[in-house]
C-alpha cells in the first residue's frame, strides 16, 4: 500500500514535556518504516513480553499514573449518507435513530463548560456528515472559538475535508481533527462502501497540511483478522509524522447495522493491539474510546499497563453508552492513577 506522502513536520507544536521526552529517546524508537513482518511479530510476542515492552516505552514519554480526560459531544446526529457497517447514524441502516439538526453553538459551549468542570481537558465535537457544507462552517468555527476560550483543547470530526475547510478550522484554532481509518486497507471495503481507504488518507493529508494535529485510529471487533489490526496501526505508524492521538475503539454492536452480530473481540487481543499502538507510536496519546462499558475494570487496567493514557468521560459517546464519571474516578482511584492536567503547547522545542 502506498502511504499518503506528507512533508515531514517538526515537533514544534508538541507539549514541552513531550519535546523533552523526545530528546531522550533514541532515533531507533521513532520509526516510520515498519514492515508487515516486523509489526506482526511484535503483535504475536508472548503477552507478558509485549506488555512489558509497551509499558517500558510508555514511561519514556508519559507519566504511567496519569490519564488524559476527553469529552465527546454529538453536535449533529444521524442521517449520514455514508454506509459504515458499524454506525447507527448511517441513513442506510435501520437502527431507530432519528436525525437531528446541527446544535446551536451557544449550547455546545455550555456543554463544554460542564465537561471542563468534570475534569476534561479536551473537548471533541462530532457531526454525522460525509463532509461539511459551506453553510456549516460558520457555526462550527463559532463552536471551536467558544470552546478554545474556555482553555480546553479542541477536536472535531466532521467527515472528509477539502484543503480549504481544513485551513478554515486551523485558522479558527482547532487543535485536533479526528478521522479514523477504521481498519486495514485490505479489510476496509468490507466495512464501508461509500468511500475508499484512500479518501480517508487524503483528509488526513489536508489536516496535516493545515497545521492541525491528527487524531486517527480504528475499531476492533469488526470481524477482522489479527493481521488487519497490525496493518491498521502500521499504516498510521508509517506516516511521515505519527498521529498525535490514536483512539482504539471496541465495536459496540448495534441492532439494525450490518455488524450487529459481529463476534466480540477477545480481551487479550484488544490489549495486544493497544500495546502495539504504544510501541509503534511512542509519543502519541493512545485513547480507550468506544466500548468501555463492555470492558471489565481488569481489562481497562491492562490497557493502561499496555500504554493507553487517555479516555473519554461522560455517560454518552455520540449515540453509545459510556461508563459514568463516578465509575471512572473509582477505577482510577483503585489503580492509584489520576487525570492529566491541561497541557500547554509550545512553538519552541
Residue 329 is assigned to a structural domain of this protein: yes
Neighbouring CB atoms inside 10 A of 70's CB total 25
DSSP string, 48-83: HHHHHHHHHHHHHHS-TTEEEEEEEEEEE-S-BS--
Residue 6 is assigned to a structural domain of this protein: no
Residue 171 is assigned to a structural domain of this protein: yes
For the chain, the domain total comes to 1
CA-nearest of 98, 183, 198, 114 to 150 is 114
Residue 216 is assigned to a structural domain of this protein: yes
Residue 253 is assigned to a structural domain of this protein: yes
Residue 129 is assigned to a structural domain of this protein: yes
Q: Residue 97: what pLDDT?
A: 73
Segment (H or E) for 122: strand 122-127
Where are the alpha helices (H) located in the chain, listed in sequence order? 16-24, 36-43, 47-61, 105-117, 137-148, 163-172, 185-188, 197-209, 226-237, 267-280, 297-305, 325-335
Q: What is the mean pLDDT of each run of 10 residues along the chain (349 residues)?
A: 35 44 53 96 98 97 94 88 86 78 95 91 92 95 96 95 97 96 96 95 97 97 96 97 96 90 95 98 95 94 98 75 85 94 44
Q: What is the rounded CA–CA span in Å between residue 343 and residue 15?
A: 7
Q: Residue 81: what pLDDT?
A: 86
Q: CATH no. for residue 334?
A: 3.20.20.70
CA-nearest of 332, 285, 296, 299 to 313 is 332
Q: What is the rounded CA–CA span in Å between residue 344 and residue 198?
A: 33
What length is written for the chain? 349
The sign of the CA dihedral 256, 258, 261, 263 is negative
Q: Residue 96: what pLDDT?
A: 73
Block residue for cell numbers 482553555: 151
Quote the pTM value.
0.87
Residue-wise pLDDT for 57-106, tens only, equals 999 999 999 999 999 899 998 888 898 988 888 878 877 777 889 999 99
Residue 134 is assigned to a structural domain of this protein: yes
Residue 240 is assigned to a structural domain of this protein: yes
Domain that holds residue 333: 48-339
CA-nearest of 212, 181, 176, 192 to 72 is 176
Q: Are 67 and 301 in contact (CB under 8 A)?
A: no
Active site residues: 80, 84, 87, 124, 155, 215, 287
Q: Residue 342: what pLDDT?
A: 59
Q: Residue 322: what pLDDT?
A: 82
Amino acid at each position: 500500500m502506498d502511504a499518503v506522502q506528507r512533508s515531514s513536520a517538526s515537533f514544534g507544536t508538541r507539549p514541552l514535556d513531550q519535546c523533552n521526552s523526545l530528546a531522550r529517546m533514541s532515533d531507533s524508537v521513532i520509526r516510520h518504516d515498519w514492515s508487515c513482518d516486523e509489526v506482526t511479530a511484535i503483535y504475536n510476542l508472548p503477552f507478558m513480553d509485549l506488555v512489558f515492552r509497551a509499558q517500558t516505552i510508555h514511561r519514556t514519554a508519559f507519566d504511567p499514573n496519569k490519564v488524559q480526560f476527553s469529552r465527546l459531544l454529538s453536535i449533529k446526529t444521524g442521517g449520514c449518507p455514508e454506509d459504515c457497517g458499524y454506525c447507527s447514524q448511517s441513513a442506510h441502516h435501520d437502527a431507530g435513530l432519528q436525525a437531528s439538526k446541527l446544535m446551536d453553538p451557544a449550547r455546545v459551549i455550555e456543554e463544554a463548560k460542564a465537561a471542563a468542570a468534570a475534569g476534561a481537558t479536551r473537548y471533541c465535537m462530532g457531526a454525522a456528515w460525509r463532509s461539511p457544507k459551506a453553510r456549516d462552517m460558520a457555526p462550527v468555527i463559532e463552536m471551536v472559538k467558544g470552546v478554545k476560550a474556555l482553555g480546553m483543547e479542541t477536536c472535531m470530526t466532521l467527515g472528509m475535508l477539502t484543503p480549504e475547510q481544513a485551513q478554515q478550522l486551523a485558522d479558527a484554532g482547532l487543535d485536533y481533527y479526528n478521522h479514523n481509518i477504521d481498519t486495514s486497507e485490505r479489510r476496509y471495503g468490507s466495512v464501508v462502501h461509500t468511500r475508499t481507504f484512500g479518501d480517508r488518507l487524503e483528509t488526513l493529508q489536508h489536516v496535516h497540511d493545515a497545521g492541525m494535529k491528527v487524531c486517527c485510529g480504528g475499531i476492533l471487533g469488526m470481524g477482522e483478522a489479527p493481521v488487519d489490526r497490525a496493518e491498521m496501526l502500521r499504516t498510521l505508524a508509517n506516516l511521515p509524522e505519527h498521529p498525535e492521538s490514536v483512539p482504539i475503539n471496541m465495536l459496540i454492536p448495534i441492532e439494525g447495522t450490518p455488524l450487529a452480530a459481529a463476534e466480540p473481540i477477545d480481551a487479550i487481543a484488544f490489549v495486544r493491539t493497544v500495546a502495539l499502538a504504544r510501541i509503534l507510536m511512542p509519543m502519541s496519546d493512545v485513547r480507550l474510546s468506544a466500548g468501555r462499558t463492555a470492558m471489565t475494570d481488569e481489562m481497562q487496567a491492562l490497557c493502561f499497563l499496555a500504554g493507553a493514557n487517555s479516555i473519554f468521560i461522560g455517560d454518552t459517546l455520540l449515540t453509545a453508552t459510556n461508563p459514568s464519571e463516578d465509575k471512572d474516578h473509582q477505577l482510577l482511584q483503585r489503580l492509584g492513577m489520576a487525570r492529566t492536567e491541561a497541557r500547554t503547547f509550545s512553538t519552541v522545542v
